[in-house]
Structure 1
Amino acid sequence: MIIGIDPGQSGGIAGIDGDASYAVPMPLIGKDIDGHKIAAQLKSLTPDVVIIEKVHAMPKQGVSSTFKFGMGFGIVIGVCEALGIPYRLVTPQAWKKAVLAGTTKDKDAAIAFVRRAYPSIDLTPGRKRVPHDGMADAVCLAEYGRQIMGNISEVS
């Protein structure tokens, strides 16, 4: 089982295990990432590796939103550390180059990839009408992990 995590509040968690695949929105308590739910999911799935998007502050992003974003990223890493689950950080540029080659490498390309490669994954959970791009990115991260699993040391 390979898990991909887009660690933002509007991110997602996805898993690929042979022919089985799934994706869910990032679990939240109010507006905060729910580390307990992430831990419960990861414990029940027993992944071989978790691929986490290596994120950073964006230009013109406010101080408090940058702090909150970094805190969510830290929660995801902390859960993996606490559970002893191996994880790798990968930049958006690296996974997009591998998974979205030949496309515009944007949110729409990630959604199109998931719809084509993993048609059983519903990117419109609940009552959403618009595809959840954080879930699509998480699937792409898991796919990146699947592609490089033969040589996991290549993940940066």
Structure 2
Amino acid sequence: MIVGIDPGQKGGVASISPSGAVTGQPMPLAGKEIDGHALATLLRVQSPALVIIEKVHSMPAQGVASTFKFGMGFGLVIGICDALGLPYRLVTPQAWKKAVLSGTAKDKSAAINFVRRAYPGLDLSPGRLRAPHDGIADAVCLAEYGRQLMTKERA
């Protein structure tokens, strides 16, 4: 099992099993914060061989408070993986997009379109969402990057 995590409140968590089955959900939240307990429970149950976490950074126009909050969420995700003893890799958006979205515009819609083609059974608009959740799509792409990485390492 490979897990991909797009950290942040609007991020997502996805997994790809060795058989190719995929799951995805929005980042679990408690109010407006990442729900660390729910994320830890999810990861403990899945017991992944590898977690791929998007290596994010602050945006130039982002305020100090939102940058701090975003950094706390990112650190929480890493801390959960460390506490559970899960192997993880931090991967830049440029690296996973180059591998997974090759030949596309490498934007949010490209990730959504990739997931729709590669994993048509996955619901990208869970619950009451009208539009596809790009955090779930990015998380699936991160998991796919991990799947490709592990396939190369075994070869």
Question: Aligning the two structures, in what range does the TM-score lie when normalised by the shorter sequence?
Answer: over 0.9
- For residue 9 of structure 2, what is the aligned residue in structure 1? 9
> What are the superposed Cα offsets for residues 43-67 of structure 1, whole Å, 9 maximum, x if unpaired?
1001000000000010010000000
Aligned counterparts of 1:151 and 1:103: Cα–Cα separation in 2: 22
What root-mean-square deviation, in Å, do the aligned CA atoms of Structure 1 and Structure 2 show?
A: 0.8
The residue aligned with 1:73 is 74
Secondary structure of 1:129's match? coil
Q: Which residue of 2 aligns with 1:132?
A: 133
Report the number of matched residues: 152
For residues 94-136 of structure 1, the C-alpha deviation after alignment (integer angstroms, 9 at most, x for no partner) is 0000000000000000000000001111000101110000000
- One-letter amino acid matched to 1:52: I
Q: String of CA shifts for 1:33-87, please: whole Å, max 9, x gaps.
A: 0000000000100100000000001001000000000000001000000000000
User: What's the TM-score once normalised by structure 2's chain length?
Assistant: 0.96
Displacement, 1:151? 4.7
Aligned mates of 1:5, 1:77 — CA distance in 2: 10
CA distance, structure 2, for counterparts of residue 49 and residue 127 of structure 1:
31
User: 5+ unaligned residues in a row in structure 2: which ranges?
Assistant: none
Cα distance in 1 for residues equivalent to 2:112 and 2:35:
25
**Percent of counterpart pairs with the same letter?**
71
Q: Distance in 1 between matches of 2:20 and 2:152?
A: 21
